[in-house]
Chain A
């Protein structure tokens, strides 16, 4: 696995260095004060340096690192999600349970590779028990809205996110001991697709995809991003159990889900009247702003690999 990791890290460093140099040249040439797009671009690239560094550190700690990192990502995402929703004083215990019980228990299931409970703990047991607790409190005001928001909060920020480290529990024949590379593949392809959609959208974007939901998403950005991300997937097939063609197809499905994730996240933000989920990552907004596409892609990617590549 050493060899593949070195290539991935060198590749990422080359991309980031190029991006930083391009941004520096653009900023040096542009009239002062810099436009908000340029300032934001530089902030985003700098944040990418930090995120890649954190991922690399977690990568070297293997299963421990990945499980802890994604549990923390779930925490930050859930915090942003719940902050945006309507809650009442009587929800206090349900909310505490979401942070104090559901997150640790779901990641413990990942850690122990207890697949049977991992896939149903949140969508079956939590979905039944959370509204039951709220009903026991006797506070029925805006009941359905409150429980729906809470269920979606744990679904997106805990259940879906936990599928990323869960990839480490898959047993792919001939790929033993290298499952960390599946995570690297998923993240690079999906986040790469986000960046590529952004670039294609900025360069060629004319036709809005869904002006009511997200004014920045265009057909040109979507198609250019998906095609180039699928190519990226094919190029990265050497770190996966997939053939180049399979890798391109898997990348295409994952990035399409990622696009839909971004769209859903935009719809939620629009409904709640905010522009960003939070302010955790300079230039990107909050954790959910950065992980919305990964969140939707992860379970689908997990199940594709599990269904077609494991025994």
Chain B
């Protein structure tokens, strides 16, 4: 099957995760708002809106050190696997899980890779929009990964997380962040209902996430 195996958290990863969380706090004063779920070290898939490279750093800064150690962001392999440096940053420093959106061989099947992470008892951060949202729309339509994962591993909790303001802190194409206050709203878990269709579930999860936006009329 596939070769992805998760080693224990290395010193480099611990230093990176503590350092980035402290940096995220200093720049954005980030604070989690637990609105329907609570911090927990049980296995979860956190799914969030995606507007900036900083998104998963902000989200993981809201988790405890223990949870962060077993939580991996799912990132685009075409981008983060391109050069040795990017691969080093994504995999060795940030312990992200790289998937290829244009996969060809069975070993590259993104769902299989993510399932293998879940089967090792770890959690995932997933951006079901599939890519960073650069449009005026607050949230793009979801791809089907979330549904497939939930059907295959129904015991894993799906937690919607609305990341506020990160698109203003670090817009696409910029490297220096503007320090603005950010919040991450964690909502109540969603699960695929009995006999629920793929489309219906994805639309429901989409609506649940969108409803967490604390300032919908000001999202600019």
Residues of chain A having any CB pair with chain B under 8 Å: 75-76, 79-80, 82-83, 86-89, 92, 95-96, 99-100, 272-273, 278-280
Within 8 A of A (CB), among B172-220: 174, 176, 178-181, 215, 218, 220
* Pick from B178, B179, B218: contact of A92, CB under 8 Å: B178
B168 in the interface (beta carbon within 8 A): yes
Across the A-B interface, give the 9 residue pairs with the lowest CB-CB distance, nearest first: A83-B181, A95-B178, A83-B180, A89-B171, A79-B179, A92-B174, A96-B176, A99-B179, A278-B181
How far is B181's CA from A81's CA once the two chains are assembled, in angstroms?
10
How far is B179's CA from A87's CA once the two chains are assembled, in angstroms?
13
Shortest beta-carbon distance from A41 to chain B in Å: 23
Q: Determine the chain A residues whose CB is within 8 A of the CB of B165 once the complex forms.
A: 83
Give the interface centre of B168, B176, B180 by most chain A CB atoms within 10 Å: B180
Q: Are the CB atoms of B31 and A279 closer together than 8 Å?
A: yes
Shortest beta-carbon distance from A99 to chain B in Å: 6
How far is B218's CA from A86's CA once the two chains are assembled, in angstroms?
8
Residues of chain B having any CB pair with chain A under 8 Å: 29, 31, 165, 168, 171, 174, 176, 178-181, 215, 218, 220
Q: Determine the chain B residues whose CB is within 8 A of the CB of A100 once the complex forms.
A: 176
Q: In the complex, which residue of chain A has the Cβ closest to the Cβ of B31?
A: A279
Q: Are the CB atoms of A75 and B179 closer together than 8 Å?
A: yes
Q: Are the CB atoms of A96 and B220 closer together than 8 Å?
A: no
How far is B165's CA from A75's CA once the two chains are assembled, in angstroms?
18
How far is B218's CA from A99's CA once the two chains are assembled, in angstroms?
23
* Pick from B31, B171, B181: contact of A79, CB under 8 Å: B181
* Pick from A76, A80, A82, A88: contact of B178, CB under 8 Å: A82
How far is B73's CA from A152's CA once the two chains are assembled, in angstroms?
39
Main secondary structure of the interface of A (DSSP, over half): helix
Q: In the complex, which residue of chain A has the Cβ closest to the Cβ of B28?
A: A79
Q: Determine the chain A residues whose CB is within 8 A of the CB of B220 once the complex forms.
A: 86-88
In the assembled complex, 18 residue pairs joining A and B whose CB atoms fall closer than 8 Å, in A order, are A75-B179, A79-B29, A79-B181, A80-B181, A83-B180, A83-B181, A86-B218, A86-B220, A87-B168, A88-B220, A92-B178, A95-B178, A96-B176, A99-B179, A100-B176, A272-B218, A278-B29, A278-B181
Known: A88-B220, A92-B171. Is A82-B31 also a contact (CB below 8 A)? no
How far is B165's CA from A100's CA once the two chains are assembled, in angstroms?
19
Q: Determine the chain A residues whose CB is within 8 A of the CB of B179 once the complex forms.
A: 75, 79, 99
Q: A83-B165, A92-B171, A92-B178 are known contacts; what are 20 more A-B pairs with Cβ within 8 Å?
A: A76-B29, A79-B179, A79-B180, A79-B181, A82-B178, A83-B180, A83-B181, A86-B220, A87-B220, A88-B220, A89-B171, A92-B174, A96-B176, A99-B178, A99-B179, A100-B176, A272-B218, A273-B215, A273-B218, A278-B181
Shortest beta-carbon distance from B119 to chain A in Å: 38
Q: Determine the chain A residues whose CB is within 8 A of the CB of B215 once the complex forms.
A: 273
Q: Determine the chain A residues whose CB is within 8 A of the CB of B218 once the complex forms.
A: 86, 272-273
Q: Determine the chain A residues whose CB is within 8 A of the CB of B180 once the complex forms.
A: 79, 82-83
Q: Determine the chain B residues whose CB is within 8 A of the CB of A92 once the complex forms.
A: 171, 174, 178
How far is B31's CA from A75's CA once the two chains are assembled, in angstroms?
18
Q: Determine the chain A residues whose CB is within 8 A of the CB of B168 once the complex forms.
A: 87
Q: Determine the chain A residues whose CB is within 8 A of the CB of B181 once the complex forms.
A: 79-80, 83, 278
Q: Determine the chain B residues whose CB is within 8 A of the CB of A76 once the complex forms.
A: 29
How far is B144's CA from A74's CA once the two chains are assembled, in angstroms?
45
Q: In the complex, which residue of chain B has the Cβ closest to the Cβ of A142?
A: B220
Give the interface centre of A83, A99, A273 by most chain B CB atoms within 10 Å: A83
Q: Determine the chain A residues whose CB is within 8 A of the CB of B174 once the complex forms.
A: 92
Q: In the complex, which residue of chain B has the Cβ closest to the Cβ of A80?
A: B181
How far is B177's CA from A95's CA once the two chains are assembled, in angstroms?
10
Shortest beta-carbon distance from A229 to chain B in Å: 31
Q: Determine the chain B residues whose CB is within 8 A of the CB of A88 once the complex forms.
A: 220
